Amino acid sequence: MKKKNLLRISMVLAVAAGLTACTTNNTAESTEAPKTSTESTKAAAVEEKSGESLVLRIMDSSDSTQERRKVFNEEFMQRHPEIKIEYTMMSGDQMTQTLTTAIKSGDAPDLFALPSGVKLSTAVSEGWYQSMSPYLTREFIDSFETGSLNEGVTTFDGEIYALPEAANIVNSLMFYNKDILAEAGLDPENPPETWSDFADACKKITEAGGGQYYGLIESGAAAVRTEIELRSFANLAGAKSNYYGVITVVDGKNPFASEGMKEALKLYAELTKAGSIHPDSINLDAPSARAMFAQGKAGFLIQGSWCIPTWREENPDLNFGVMALPVPDDGAKGGNPYIGAQPWVGISAKCQHPEAAALYLTELFGKEYQGRVVSDGGFVSCIKGVNEEAMKDDAMLEYYNLAMSSGKLCPDPLALNPETANVYAKVKEVTPNLGQIMQGVMAGSISDTDAELDRYSEAVEKEWESAMSEAGVEKVKFQFDDWDPVKDYNYSK
């Protein structure tokens, strides 16, 4: 696989691996390989042989793979009858609230996903997770694609605290309903490529729908999703806004009041003013928006590849296509941003059976299970060799190729300068954040978008500078003058 694809395929959330393996951090910045157990996973086997029954409680928000997970859990319990799996899948916001309460009360699940918006460095410093390195084999670690396990991202001082759910590819491409586009007099084989054409298409679809369907449907209740979208459009306009949650500095300041960011937010304001966004959007989470799109309620939806297997199962007659995000009328000045693989799931510091938890992860990330979810479509594994063997769905292949061509790898300070983790641990979120500002625009409560971004940028600048000062980390550690946003960032420099 080419280096570019390896880097990309080492990106977002996907735990994988039977007794095959994971990879050490192969980036140039890594100075220490993750520590591992000198035994295989014999510790878990020993625990099983003790004859004592144990329960593993697991919580995440992976709704698109939950059916496969149910089957996997049943098969796992058949293979290991002394281990009972109690698996809970919740929406992102609900999981965050539930986990926060459970952690504070000392009753966290044995394995749980890192809530959106929380940095692993913060979670580790607050004692949420324990190192899983003593319970993982070198074979398992070496099975992960290059860049999946990075110091400062999933690993601290050589100790692995979390695994990525999947390869991190762009998760904000655009799906379109071909039948609705045709009904509105548009060519479904030539979807809009520029912002103006996209706005015009949304208007025509809304008019043709007569209240039955609209141009665009949004996951408006999920601030994380709305921020990811806004950053994506802003990066296309040259904002260097990077991926969700990443702190980067451009010319000595944050990018949130840049011309590119302001133009991107104005695009959403114009769509809202034209009535082209489905009026229920502000109350919809991602699964609900995905379902309504499949029911013919909108012409366009911006989400990730996880939509594909759900529609194949629940809406087999849905006639949809996938396209790259439209670009500014004067051309793209950047790509759709993404960064390397991000932490997904870890073993609770309170877990009394870490060997059994590690055994569960080892089999969850095994090639057999990973191949199943990849073959379903909508999932890109971070385990070596799985994608090449198992990716068969035409729509998924199209999504993957578009993600590879339109997505651009951005610099991640945590991977390039691990000391920046100290800043992430201290910085406090400024609210309303970008996602909430987007919500305000779609709800019609924010009209002066430039002024709102100026206010937000000023508040963020003060917070970032305070956190950097307290952590003793210079701002230059977050600035990458060699970053050309129309190209993949070169991590080997």
Report pLDDT digits (tens) over 253-284.
999 999 999 999 999 999 999 999 999 999 99
Residues of the chain with CATH 3.40.190.10: 54-164+342-381, 173-339+417-478
Q: How many CB atoms lie within 10 A of CB 454?
A: 14
- C-alpha angle 386-392-393 in degrees, rounded to nearest 5: 125
Gap between the Cα atoms of 25 and 8, Å rounded: 14
Gap between the Cα atoms of 44 and 143, Å rounded: 20
* Rg of the Cα atoms in the chain: 22
Answer yes or no: is pLDDT of 492 > 80. Answer: no
Question: Residue 434: helix, strand or coil by DSSP?
Answer: helix
Gap between the Cα atoms of 15 and 31, Å rounded: 24
- C-alpha angle 74-78-83 in degrees, rounded to nearest 5: 85
From the list 110, 162, 104, the residue with the least C-alpha distance to 133 is 162
Gap between the Cα atoms of 243 and 450, Å rounded: 21
Find where tokens 């996880």 sit. 306
Q: What integer is the mean pLDDT of 408-435?
A: 92
Helix, strand, coil fractions of the chain, as percent rounded to 5: 45, 15, 40
Burial grade of 280 (CB within 10 A; 0-12, 13-18, 19 or more) = middle
pLDDT on residue 51: 59
Gap between the Cα atoms of 61 and 118, Å rounded: 14
Query: Which tokens hold the place of 383?
Result: 């385990």
Residue 51 region by backbone torsions, left for phi larger than 0, else alpha for psi between -120 and 50, else beta: left
Cβ pair 486, 335 in contact under 8 A: yes
Distances from the Cα of 316 to the Cα of 213, 251, 479, angstroms: 20, 49, 46
List of residues 6+ apart from 302 with CB closer than 8 A: 172, 173, 174, 175, 216, 218, 229, 325
List of residues 6+ apart from 313 with CB closer than 8 A: 67
Gap between the Cα atoms of 203 and 335, Å rounded: 26
pLDDT on residue 237: 98
Cβ pair 109, 57 in contact under 8 A: yes
Cβ pair 432, 457 in contact under 8 A: no
Gap between the Cα atoms of 201 and 299, Å rounded: 9
Query: Which tokens hold the place of 468?
Result: 């950097």
Query: Which tokens hold the place of 455?
Result: 């206010």
Q: What pLDDT, in 10s, does the model give residues 65-90? A: 989 999 999 999 999 999 999 999 99
pLDDT on residue 174: 98
**Counts of helices then strands in the chain (DSSP H, E):** 20, 13
From the list 278, 297, 342, the residue with the least C-alpha distance to 120 is 342
Answer yes or no: is pLDDT of 233 > 80. Answer: yes
Answer yes or no: is pLDDT of 15 > 60. Answer: no
Answer yes or no: is pLDDT of 364 > 70. Answer: yes
Output the furthest CA–CA distance in the chain (Å, rounded). Answer: 68
Find where tokens 């500014």 sit. 328
pLDDT on residue 196: 98
Gap between the Cα atoms of 186 and 178, Å rounded: 9
Question: Residue 160: helix, strand or coil by DSSP?
Answer: strand
Identify the band that residue 153 occupies on the pLDDT scale cut at 50, 70 and 90.
confident
We find that the CATH architecture of domain 173-339+417-478 is 3-Layer(aba) Sandwich (3.40)
Identify the band that residue 388 occupies on the pLDDT scale cut at 50, 70 and 90.
confident
Rounded percentage of the chain residues whose pLDDT exceeds 90: 74
Cβ pair 435, 224 in contact under 8 A: yes
Lowest-pLDDT choice from 37-46, 118-127, 180-189, 421-430: 37-46
Strand ranges, E, within 116-189:
129-130, 155-156, 159-160, 173-177
pLDDT on residue 152: 79
Gap between the Cα atoms of 195 and 271, Å rounded: 10
Residue 241 region by backbone torsions, left for phi larger than 0, else alpha for psi between -120 and 50, else beta: alpha
Cβ pair 173, 53 in contact under 8 A: no
Q: What integer is the mean pLDDT of 375-383?
A: 89
- C-alpha angle 426-432-437 in degrees, rounded to nearest 5: 135
Identify the band that residue 23 occupies on the pLDDT scale cut at 50, 70 and 90.
very low
Identify the band that residue 101 occupies on the pLDDT scale cut at 50, 70 and 90.
very high
CATH class of the domain whose range is 54-164+342-381? alpha beta
pTM of the model: 0.74
Identify the band that residue 22 occupies on the pLDDT scale cut at 50, 70 and 90.
very low
Gap between the Cα atoms of 389 and 326, Å rounded: 31
